[in-house]
A and B are shown apart, each in its own frame.
Chain A
Amino acid sequence: AQRVTQPEKLLSVFKGAPVELKCNYSYSGSPELFWYVQYSRQRLQLLLRHISRESIKGFTADLNKGETSFHLKKPFAQEEDSAMYYCALSGSTSSASKIIFGSGTRLSIRP
């Protein structure tokens, strides 16, 4: 079964502290993994994807196939990082790939 699990509904950290948002997935095959972010009153937007191996807004995520994890990390949290974060995977047998989302983690950065 294809599934994305985000165990934390809410994560609250102080500004400047490290952040780690957990994500585990279940997929038979080689999925594409993503992190989407939704800031207050804004649309869902792609934050990063595992094949890019890039750092966006200081965030990185490493795909660990052994642990089937794709945790999102940032060494020093900023107040503007407060948002809803969704881990997601893309995988489909059809020509158009659907995205399967986790339930999301609300990140709150305290000043």
Chain B
Amino acid sequence: EPEVTQTPSHQVTQMGQEVILRCVPISNHLYFYWYRQILGQKVEFLVSFYNNEISEKSEIFDDQFSVERPDGSNFTLKIRSTKLEDSAMYFCASSDSEEQETQYFGPGTRLLVL
């Protein structure tokens, strides 16, 4: 069964550094999402992406964040200048056009900003 994959599984970075989190959505899916979960808190929506543009973004998704689909398979989340409070688990998800509301999640990338 096809799955969403994410790399790396863990990343440690210094405050102020740029990080790129990578996701490979399920191949025939057209809708892509990023969520994050700070330790001990709920899973929060960051951004949705469709037709090569952002569909919706949350208040969390400020100018430090960007998303890109650089080729036909990858979907990336870039944090330009990381802050301590960016430490979290970041989940990618994708869904298809037939059942858009059913999102399939990746295993997550645990980001630690020191």
Contact = CB atoms under 8 A, between A and B. Distances in A.
Say if A and B assemble together: yes
B101 A49 contact: yes
A102 B37 CA distance: 12
A28 to B, nearest CB: 17
Contacts of B55: 92, 94-96
B42 A97 contact: no
Given A95-B55, A96-B31, A49 B102 contact: yes
Interface in A63-111: 86, 90, 92-104
A11 B50 CA distance: 38
Interface in A6-45: 32, 34, 36, 42-45
Contacts of A94: 48, 55-56
Counting contact residues on chain A (CB < 8 A from B), the size range is 20 to 34
Contacts, number: 69
A32 B103 CA distance: 12
Interface residues of B, number: 30
B101 A90 contact: yes
A103 B45 contact: no
Interface string B1-27: 001100000000000000000000000
A83 B49 CA distance: 30
In the complex, the 4 A-B pairs of residues with the closest C-beta atoms, listed nearest first: A96-B48, A96-B55, A94-B56, A94-B55
22 contacts: A43-B3, A43-B105, A43-B106, A44-B43, A44-B91, A86-B42, A92-B55, A96-B31, A96-B50, A96-B55, A97-B48, A98-B33, A98-B45, A98-B56, A99-B35, A99-B43, A99-B45, A99-B103, A101-B35, A101-B44, A103-B41, A103-B42
Interface of B: 3-4, 31-33, 35, 41-45, 48-51, 55-56, 58, 91, 93, 95, 100-108
